[in-house]
Amino acid sequence: MLGKIEIVVERGDITLKKADAIVNPANSLMIMGGGVALAIKKRGGEIIEKEAIKKAPVPVGKAIHTTAGNLNAKYVIHAPTMERPAQRISVDNVKAATRAALDVANKLNIESIAFPGMGTGVGGVPEDEAAKAMVETIMEFAKDHPEASIKKVVLVAFTDSLYTAFRKAIEGAHD
C-alpha cells in the first residue's frame, strides 16, 4: 500500500486485464502502430485509435482517454511517453506520462488502473529505471492526492525481467 493506493505487480498481457482503465504508453500523434499500443488496438478494436487520433496531438506530460472497445476496461488512458512513434526517450518522460495517466484516472473518478512498463519498449528506457520512476511517481501522486478515487494500481509485466524490476522498485520504495 502506498497511502490509500494498493500497488499490485502481475505477470501477463495488459490487454487481458480487468480494470477501470488500462494505460497506453502512446506517442503524441496517437498512432497505435507498435508495442503495447498495437496490442491494445488489435484486441480492443480500431475504434480506440480512431478516437485517440481525433484528440491528437497530445504533448508528453498530458494524457487523454478513449473508449476501451472490446477490452475488459471502461477506458484506455493514452499517456504519451514520446512525441513521434518509435522515439528514444528519457526517464523524465516515463515520470511525466505516468503522472498524466494518474491525473486523468482521478478526473474520471475510477478506482483501478493498469499500467504496462512505460518507455521500456521502443522508448529504450532500462526496465529497472522505468519501474523505479513509475513507482516513485505513483507514491508522489498518492501523497499529493490523499482524496484520490484510485484505490488500486496494477503494474503489468509482459516479461519476467520487467516483473522483477517492478517488484524491486516497490521493495526499494519501502526501504
Query: Residue 146 is part of a domain; what is its CATH number?
Result: 3.40.220.10
pLDDT band, very low/low/confident/very high, at 87 (cuts 50, 70, 90): confident
Domain assignment of residue 33, given as a range: 6-173
Say if 56 falls within a structural domain: yes
Which residues share a beta bridge with 8? Answer: 154
Alpha-carbon distances, residue 59 vs 67, 81, 100, 105, 143 (angstroms)? 20, 9, 10, 17, 25
Q: Is the dihedral of CA 45, 64, 155, 34 positive or negative?
A: positive
Asked if residue 175 has pLDDT above 70, the reply is: no
CA angle 88, 92, 93 (to 5 degrees): 55
- pLDDT value at residue 4: 81
pLDDT band, very low/low/confident/very high, at 88 (cuts 50, 70, 90): very high
pTM of the model: 0.96
- pLDDT value at residue 12: 97
CA angle 147, 149, 154 (to 5 degrees): 120
Say if 45 falls within a structural domain: yes
Concatenated DSSP letters of 85-131: TT----HHHHHHHHHHHHHHHHHTT-SEEEE--SS-STT---HHHHH
Cis peptide before 57 (omega within 30 of 0): yes
Say if 1 falls within a structural domain: no
Say if 20 falls within a structural domain: yes
Total domains in the fold of the chain: 1
Mean pLDDT of the 16-25 span: 97
Based on C-alpha coordinates, what's the Rg of the chain?
14
Residue closest to 76 by CA, chosen among 118, 23, 119, 152: 23
Mean pLDDT of the 27-53 span: 97
- pLDDT value at residue 117: 97
Cα separation, 136 vs 170, whole angstroms: 9
